[in-house]
């Protein structure tokens, strides 16, 4: 299951999450984004409990896209402990996406054991 995240939820749903989060930055006018959408949704079911899946519409929330260095879409960024720990650029099929996510999750384990979650206070320092 994927969740739509906006400016009001960004900190709590992504940065403060104790579970890694993969965020799909997309827009309705982007054909590759629209092609990726059902793949992203389907793959989210495979990782239930291990990885949260979130979506950010860059048209509605350009502030989030800008703050995270989004230069083109579709792009998916993985966050662990409030930090961006990986990126996948462009459309890919289910098998390729699963492969890339598995690769990212293998490096995230270290992040989860060695990092504390960013709070609003520490994020602004």
Active-site residue list? 30, 33
Residue 117: closest CA among 6, 7, 21, 9: 21
Say if CB 49 and CB 10 are below 8 A apart. no
CB within 8 A of 15, min separation 6: which ones? 79, 82, 117, 118, 123
């Amino acid at each position: 299951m994927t969740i739509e995240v906006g400016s009001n939820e960004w900190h709590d749903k992504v940065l403060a999450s104790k579970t890694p989060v993969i965020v799909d930055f997309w827009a309705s006018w982007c054909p590759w984004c629209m092609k990726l959408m059902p793949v992203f949704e389907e793959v989210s079911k495979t990782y239930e409990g291990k990885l949260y899946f979130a979506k950010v519409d860059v048209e509605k929330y350009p502030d989030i896209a800008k703050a995270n260095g989004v230069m083109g879409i579709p792009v998916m960024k993985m966050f662990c402990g409030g930090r961006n720990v990986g990126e996948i650029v462009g459309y890919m099929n289910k098998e390729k996406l699963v492969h890339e996510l598995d690769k990212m999750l293998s490096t995230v384990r270290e992040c989860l054991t060695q990092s504390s979650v960013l709070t609003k206070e520490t994020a602004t320092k």
